[in-house]
Structure 1
Amino acid sequence: MNLKKLELKFLNEENRTVTLTLDEPVEPADPALINSVMDTILLENCFTTSGGDLVAKKEARIVERNVFDVEI
Structure 2
Amino acid sequence: MKTLELQFLSEDQKTVRVSIEDPIEPIDTAKIKDAMSNVLSSQVLVGSAGLPLTSMKGARLIEQNITNYTIEG
TM-score interval w.r.t. the shorter chain? over 0.9
**Shift in Å, 1:51:** 5.1
Which is strand-richer, 1 or 2?
1
| Partner of residue 63, structure 2 | 64
Q: How does 1:1-72 map to 2 (within 5 A)?
A: 3-49=1-47, 50=49, 52-72=51-71
Runs of 4+ aligned residues of structure 1 deviating over 4 Å after TM superposition are none
Tell me, in whole angstroms, the C-alpha distance in 2 between the residues paired with 1:19 and 1:47: 10
Give aligned pairs, total.
70
TM-score by length of 2: 0.92
TM-score by length of 1: 0.93
Tell me, in whole angstroms, the C-alpha distance in 2 between the residues paired with 1:48 and 1:35: 18
SS of aligned partner of 1:27: coil
Q: What is the letter of the counterpart of residue 34 of structure 2?
A: S
Tell me, in whole angstroms, the C-alpha distance in 2 between the residues paired with 1:35 and 1:48: 18
Change (3 A) 1:43 1:37: same
Q: CA RMSD in A?
A: 0.8
**Shift in Å, 1:36:** 0.2
Among all aligned residue pairs of Structure 1 and Structure 2, give the percentage whose two residues are the same amino acid.
Answer: 36
Q: Gaps spanning 5+ residues in structure 2: where? A: none
**Shift in Å, 1:16:** 0.4
Tell me, in whole angstroms, the C-alpha distance in 1 between the residues paired with 2:50 and 2:41: 18
Which sits farther off after the overlay, 46-55 or 57-66?
A: 46-55
